[in-house]
Amino acid sequence: MSWLKKMFGDGEPAEKSTISKEVRRQDELVLAPASGQAFPLVEAKDPVFANGIMGQGIAIEPTDGMVYAPFDAQVTIAFETKHAYGLKAPGGAEVLIHIGIDTVSLNGDGFKQMVKQGDFVKSGELLGSFDREKIVAAGLGTTIMVIVTNTIDYTSITSLVEGSVVHGTPLLKLEI
């Protein structure tokens, strides 16, 4: 065997690899970011969310003032007003967690933010907290909207629970 053949083979094509370099997207789960009463998004008292303009999702009337990461994610948006978070999962899901109705008007008063844009968080990690009583005293709603902002990337988004929910339990199934 010549040194050329030894180094470069005999010129025959190698067998095709059975390993694809393309990452296959899979169905994803969104866990409840808060404890409370889950209900269909269409029943939310905010027409922008209720009409699905931002995407499909679910609403939660919280029983406490804590908001947690619904999956491992990168924080893509942490609003200065501390009332909303944008998260992106490794599988591609993009979720907006919006705390309250018209709470942007509070300009951060009554909210604490534990993360910032660019951070990586683990499922169940505390994103922030809010003072429910302060929101209600301002005449605003405390409903948390959980919106899949890239709804178009999925064939269906299914609510897995309605009624009482504890943060960390499966909330939405995203099917490709």
- List the catalytic residue out of 98, 121, 145, 172: 98
Does residue 81 sit in helix, strand or coil? coil
Rg, Å, the chain Cα set: 22
Residue 6 phi, psi (nearest 5): -65, -40
* 98 counts as catalytic: yes
* CA atoms in the 13 A half-sphere facing the CB of 150: 15
Q: How far apart, in whole angstroms, are the C-alpha atoms of residue 72 and residue 93?
A: 11
Q: Are 141 and 45 in contact (CB under 8 A)?
A: yes
* Structure tokens that stand for 2 in this block: 């010549």
Q: Do you know the residue count of the chain?
A: 176
* Structure tokens that stand for 125 in this block: 């990690």
What's the one-letter identity of residue 77? I
Does residue 69 sit in helix, strand or coil? coil
Report, as residue numbers or ranges, the catalytic residues: 98
